[in-house]
């Protein structure tokens, strides 16, 4: 959604209202405050109105859902699909309860392009001994993981694509592992941890360290109320910390908006 945003109206901490962007796509004047505000997680102001670029609905869409026994197979299939000649709209790997890895693929566009993309995806799944079925509401369910992870901790990491498979294996082997959802194209992976508080904290810290080892980055996206004082959202200060603090001080000098939500608030 951030990439489709072209205008915002934001309530600031002192009660004033700031406007940025506009109602047309060709708006290039000034700084891109829209993306700054979206990425601030509410620590700079509260977006009360947003204008988005509207795209036409695709002429056709189709998806498949597959189960594979091993993580190397599911990630190899996913990476082959996103690197293939036929682009797909979504390619997501999931692991929940049990030992099965699941892959959801969706293609959108012209009827011929969608048909070719799904055929290519089926081939990559079949050669790795997977079974593909028609995609139902699986993608919607996978996107709801952050909302479902109300207990324990939800760790979000951004990884080099080549590192997602070994990281996923590490996550699935943890004592408190509950669920994993990984975007095959971007390497963004979310892991839900649930169970004993001490074990959740230990496993969350282990995942964040594993991400840093492969030149990735991560944070605790959500955690239970009991863990807020024991498990910080940001394990270490990001680069540019001083600059971000200056921006925070300009927008919210008293630091009343979303304290503790970001690395600099």
Confidence of residue 2 (pLDDT cuts 50, 70, 90): confident
Q: Which fold has domain 2-54?
A: 3.30.465
Is 132 in contact with 65 (CB distance < 8 Å)? Answer: yes
In this structure, which topology does domain 144-227 adopt according to CATH?
Answer: Alpha-Beta Plaits (3.30.70)
Per the prediction, the chain carries an average pLDDT of 90
Q: How far is Cα 82 from Cα 60, in angstroms, rounded to an integer?
A: 19
CA distance 233 to 223: 8
pLDDT confidence of residue 179? 94
How far apart CA 200 and CA 10 sit, in angstroms, is: 36
Q: How far is CA 55 from the centre of its chain?
A: 22
Q: What is the pTM of this model?
A: 0.85
Task: Yes or no: say if 259 and 251 are a contact pair by the CB < 8 Å rule.
Answer: no
Q: Which residues pair with 36 in a beta bridge?
A: none
Question: For 221-260, how does the pLDDT look when each residue is reduced to its tens digit (9 = 90+)?
Answer: 999 889 988 998 887 766 777 888 899 999 999 999 987 7
**For residue range 118-133, what is the model confidence (pLDDT) as tens digits?**
999 999 999 999 989 8
Question: Is 183's pLDDT higher than 60?
Answer: yes
Of the candidate CATH numbers 3.20.20.70, 3.40.30.10, 3.30.2320.30, 3.30.70.1710, the domain formed by 60-141 belongs to: 3.30.70.1710
């Amino acid at each position: 959604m951030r990439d489709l945003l072209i205008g915002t109206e934001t309530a600031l901490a002192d009660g004033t209202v700031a406007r940025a962007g506009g109602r047309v796509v060709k708006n290039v004047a000034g700084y891109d405050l829209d993306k700054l505000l979206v990425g601030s997680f509410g620590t700079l102001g509260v977006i009360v109105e947003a204008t988005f670029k509207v795209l036409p609905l695709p002429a056709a869409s189709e998806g498949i859902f597959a189960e594979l026994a091993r993580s190397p197979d599911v990630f190899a299939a996913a990476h082959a699909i996103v690197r293939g000649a036929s682009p797909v709209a979504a390619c997501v790997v999931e692991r929940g309860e049990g030992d099965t890895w699941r892959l959801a693929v969706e293609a959108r566009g012209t009827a011929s392009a969608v048909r070719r993309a799904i055929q290519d995806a089926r081939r990559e799944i079949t050669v790795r001994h997977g079974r593909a079925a028609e995609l139902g509401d699986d993608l919607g369910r996978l996107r709801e993981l952050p909302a479902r992870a109300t207990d324990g901790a939800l760790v979000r990491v951004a990884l080099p694509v080549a590192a997602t498979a070994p990281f996923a294996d590490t996550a699935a082997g943890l004592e408190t592992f509950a669920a994993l959802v990984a975007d095959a194209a971007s390497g963004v992976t979310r892991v839900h941890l649930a169970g004993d508080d001490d074990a959740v904290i230990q496993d969350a810290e282990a995942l964040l360290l594993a991400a840093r080892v492969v030149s990735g980055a991560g944070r605790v996206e959500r955690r239970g109320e009991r863990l807020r004082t024991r498990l910080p959202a940001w394990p270490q200060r990001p680069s540019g910390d001083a600059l971000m603090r200056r921006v925070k001080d300009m927008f919210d000098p008293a630091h009343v908006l979303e304290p503790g939500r970001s690395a600099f608030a």
